Amino acid sequence: MDSIDERVLQAVRIILVEPAGPLNVGSIARVMKNMGLSQLVLVQPHCDPLDPQAQQMAVHAQSVLHQAVVVQSLPEALTGCQRAIATTARERADGPPLELPEVALPWLLENPAEPPGPAALIFGPEDRGLSNGELNYAQRTVAIPSSEIYPSLNLAQAVAVCTYLLRRSWLGGPDLKPQSGSSVPADLAPLDQLEAMLSDLEQLLLTIGYLYPHTAVSRMEKFRRLLHCSGPTAQELAMLRGILRQLDWALQANRGKS
């Protein structure tokens, strides 16, 4: 594999939300290096990524642990990412539709930029997985098909399955080939910019009385899913934010006249 291939894989962030066990974190670092990934982001971890147990499990991948980034929120972990896929063990009521990993994961690698921009693969805590709200920060959601008798995989095992499928897809396995010609725009708006626009929208809708504080969270989740489905480009998102700013200005000006 040439260097550009490795850079595309290395652009994928593995995001762990509130990981609890250093053994898992160390095992994940090892399998990441096995599969050509290097970006590990921990959201409010309940363990030290440099714990001796983590370093022991990482073996020759301790560099992944030393380079790991610790952040305080999932939106912060997604800063700069244009594409994100979340993982779950089960279908949720009113949740996003579930896809097979081998179907959805190649989408993270469809990035024609040079160098490739960051994409994200998100995993939840060992004891509960990702909440519905956390799932909605990603555009797509995958579930590894496992036995109904015992469907929940160990966190490190789930990361191993998904990162293996990512690498196999990029290598062009017989039934997993990189998907080209995607209808998703190449300049898809970064997710942190989308969240900033949603924040502006929420404030405006609260001001005009369309939203109420006790319903705002659920309504904004629907707007988030709508925007993820439409996939606005950076230019389109800038246009939407411009409209919101102009509407806010008009409201303020109208109040000044009354």
pLDDT digits (tens, 9 = 90+) for 183-213: 445 577 888 888 888 888 888 898 888 888 8
pLDDT of 163 reads: 97
DSSP classification of residue 105: G
Q: Which class would CATH give 191-257?
A: mainly alpha
What pTM value is reported for the model? 0.81
pLDDT of 20 reads: 95
Domain ranges of the chain: 3-171, 191-257
pLDDT digits (tens, 9 = 90+) for 95-119: 668 899 999 999 999 876 667 789 9
Q: What's the pLDDT band for 90 if we cut at 50, 70, 90? A: confident
Q: What's the pLDDT band for 245 if we cut at 50, 70, 90? A: confident
Topology of domain 3-171, per CATH? Alpha/beta knot (3.40.1280)
pLDDT of 218 reads: 84
DSSP classification of residue 46: S
Share of the chain above pLDDT 70, in %: 88
Q: What own/partner pairs with CB < 8 Å and gap ≥ 24 does 53-59 have?
A: 53/22, 53/23, 53/26, 54/22, 54/23, 54/25, 54/26, 54/29, 55/26, 56/26, 57/22, 57/23, 57/25, 57/26, 57/27, 57/29, 57/30, 58/26, 58/27, 58/29, 58/30, 59/30
How many other C-beta atoms are found inside a 10 Å radius of the C-beta of residue 61?
A: 21
- Buried-exposed string 131-150: b where 16+ CB fall within 10 A, e elsewhere: eeebbbbbbbbbbbeeeeee
pLDDT digits (tens, 9 = 90+) for 118-132: 999 999 999 999 998
How many other C-beta atoms are found inside a 10 Å radius of the C-beta of residue 197?
A: 18
pLDDT digits (tens, 9 = 90+) for 144-180: 998 888 888 899 999 999 999 999 998 885 455 444 4
